[in-house]
């Protein structure tokens, strides 16, 4: 069973992933992660409805811009753990489109990818099992601080530590 890590803790997953529009049963229901094309074409769920969509890491981020309203979650699919396009997508969703909901990585998520995901704006990742989840959480904590700016720490080390004094 895949295990969800949210905010660096193992938690039950309240969401249901709808793989394709055919599986959606016309639902706009609570707790569903719809395929993006379905989400973008369907009537938008109401304010009270807790829903979101998923995309491939390689999607053109500008296509998402007009469809983030009402989405409490965006899930990014990593077809292979070494495919870093989803990292750029995460950065752009957070820093350029200002998405503030849950940003989730799923697919082929090697626990060692967690440190990159975390710093690129992902607050949730779905990994293979409990052991992988534990490794993922540990790996995020294994490096105290990094040189460059990130979504998590927008100031690079040279502006925080080496201030030239």
Partner 1 sequence: MYQYQDFDQRFIEERVEQYREQTERYLNGELTEEQFLQLRLRNGLYIQRLAPMLRVAIPYGTLSSRQLRALAEISRRYDKGYGHLSTRQNMQFNWPELASVPDILADLAKVQMHAIQTSGSCIRNVTTDQFAGVADDERVDARPYCEIIRQWSTQHPEFDWLPRKFKIALNGAESDRAAIHVHDIGIRVDRDATGDVVFDFLVGGGLGRTPVIGSVIRRGLPEPHLLTYLEAILRVYNRHGRRDNKYKARIKILVRAMTPEVFAERVDEEWAHLKDGPSTLTTAELNRMQGCFSPPPYPDLKDRTTELAEQRLKAPAFNNWVQNNVSRHKVAGYAIATLSTKHTGVPPGDVTDAQMDAVADWADAYGFGEIRIGHEQNFVLPDVAQEKLYELWKRATEMALAAPNVGLLTDIVCCPGGDYCSLANAKSIPIAEAIQRRYDDYDYLHDLGPIDLNISGCMNACGHHHVGHIGILGVDKKGAEFYQVSIGGHAGNDASLGRIIGPSFARDDVPEVVERILDVYVDRRIDTEPFLSCFRRIGMQPFKDRVYASAG
What CA–CA distance (Å, rounded) separates 47 from 69? Answer: 10
Binding flag, residue 142, partner 1 (CB under 8 A): yes
- Among 45, 119, 126, 137, indicate the residue that binds partner 1 (CB under 8 A): 119
Nearer to partner 1, 30 or 112 (CB): 112
Nearer to partner 1, 45 or 86 (CB): 86
Residues 6+ apart with CB under 8 A from 106: 2, 17, 54, 75, 76, 77, 78, 125, 126
Identify residues 22-81 at the interface with partner 1 (CB under 8 A): 58, 81
Nearer to partner 1, 18 or 87 (CB): 87
Backbone angles phi, psi at 140, to 5 degrees: -65, -35
Pick the stretch among 5-13, 24-32, 97-105, 115-123 that binds partner 1 (CB under 8 A). 115-123
- Among 94, 120, 125, 136, indicate the residue that binds partner 1 (CB under 8 A): 120
């Amino acid at each position: 069973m895949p295990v969800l890590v949210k905010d660096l803790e193992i938690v039950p997953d309240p969401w249901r992933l709808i793989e394709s529009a055919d599986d959606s049963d016309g639902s706009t229901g609570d707790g569903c992660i719809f395929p993006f094309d379905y989400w973008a074409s369907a009537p938008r769920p109401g304010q009270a409805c807790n829903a979101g969509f998923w995309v491939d890491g390689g999607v053109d981020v500008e296509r998402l811009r007009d469809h983030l309203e009402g989405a409490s979650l965006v899930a990014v699919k990593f077809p292979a753990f070494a495919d870093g396009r989803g990292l750029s997508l995460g950065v752009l969703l957070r820093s350029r489109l200002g998405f503030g909901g849950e940003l989730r990585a799923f697919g082929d998520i090697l626990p060692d990818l967690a440190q990159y995901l975390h710093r690129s704006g992902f607050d949730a990742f779905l990994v293979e099992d409990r052991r992988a989840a534990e490794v993922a959480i540990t790996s995020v904590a294994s490096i105290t601080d990094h040189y460059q700016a990130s979504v998590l720490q927008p100031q690079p080390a040279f502006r925080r530590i080496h201030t030239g004094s």
